[in-house]
Copies of this chain bind each other. A is one copy, B any other.
Amino acid sequence: MKIRATVWGENVHEQTNKVVAGIYPAGMHQAIADALNQDPQIAATTATLQEPEHGLTDKRLSETDVLLWWGHAAHGQVDDAVVERVAEHVWGGMGLILLHSAHFAKIFKRLMGSPCNLTWREAGERERLWVTSRNHPIAHGLPDHFELENEEMYGEPFGVPEPLETVFVSWFQGGEVFRSGLTYKRGAGHVFYFRPGHETYPTYHDPNVRTVLRNAVRWAHNSAKRVADVNAAPNVPVASALEPITERGPRLHHDGEAGLR
């Protein structure tokens, strides 16, 4: 069975900016989905901000193995309830891939618990991505480095928690560096942040970038059944303790009572 990827696109600049529309006539989300569908193991579809519930109903998320997220101009328009719903699916095992300006997406900040800030410059300068974890599943098939001739610069310090693994570090022509590929776990969900992808450049048409996207979807896929209730905090009564114990001392709670939150 194929890995079901949903590419979420904000779909704003594609509608309002001629440059972006020219590069991505069917939308950035569609270009990304097309890249994924070149992999026979992946079945990618799209969802956008403008759809009801941004296209991310509970049913849709339940049928999504890996969600990819591209947003920039409209982070603030994403409904908080949808953000929380996505977070719960990630905790339950859905993979999540954050692309470029999604460093400031509500869902990324929600999962990181940190500011996720950085420095930036829009000058069409050269970016060179270096693999720092050779043969990492996300770097399969890539050379030790590859270039994007025109990209927006993102610079350190990047306000994220220490990752599980640093897969890419970028060199920028103007003198900055950036940790461009970072892996995390949140609950049972595999999370990957990947830096490139400014909307005024043809980044998602680049073969190496497309390889990374496909690799990342396969890496982020957790084939286990999604965790049923990600927030459950069950009481284990004395009578059903795994080793025989006798209750001692004072208590706040009665048997079977829900815990305090």
Contact = CB atoms under 8 A, between A and B. Distances in A.
Interface of A: 13, 17, 19, 72-73, 75-76, 87, 91, 93, 101, 104, 110-115, 117-125, 128, 130-137, 140-141, 144-145, 150, 153, 155-159, 161-162, 164-166, 169-177, 179, 184-188, 199-201, 222-224, 227, 230-238, 241-243, 245-253, 259-261
A161 B184 contact: yes
Consensus secondary structure, chain A interface = loop
Contacts of A145: 242
A185 B157 contact: no
5 contacts: A104-B260, A156-B169, A159-B230, A174-B245, A175-B242
Contact of A261 (B104, B169, B222): B104
B115 A176 contact: no
A120 B113 CA distance: 25
B164 A235 contact: no
B134 A187 contact: yes
A234 B241 CA distance: 31
Nearest to A166: B166
A245 B173 CA distance: 7
A133 B120 contact: no
A19 B253 CA distance: 13
A130 B75 CA distance: 28
A247 B123 CA distance: 5
Given A115-B231, A231-B115, A155 B130 contact: yes
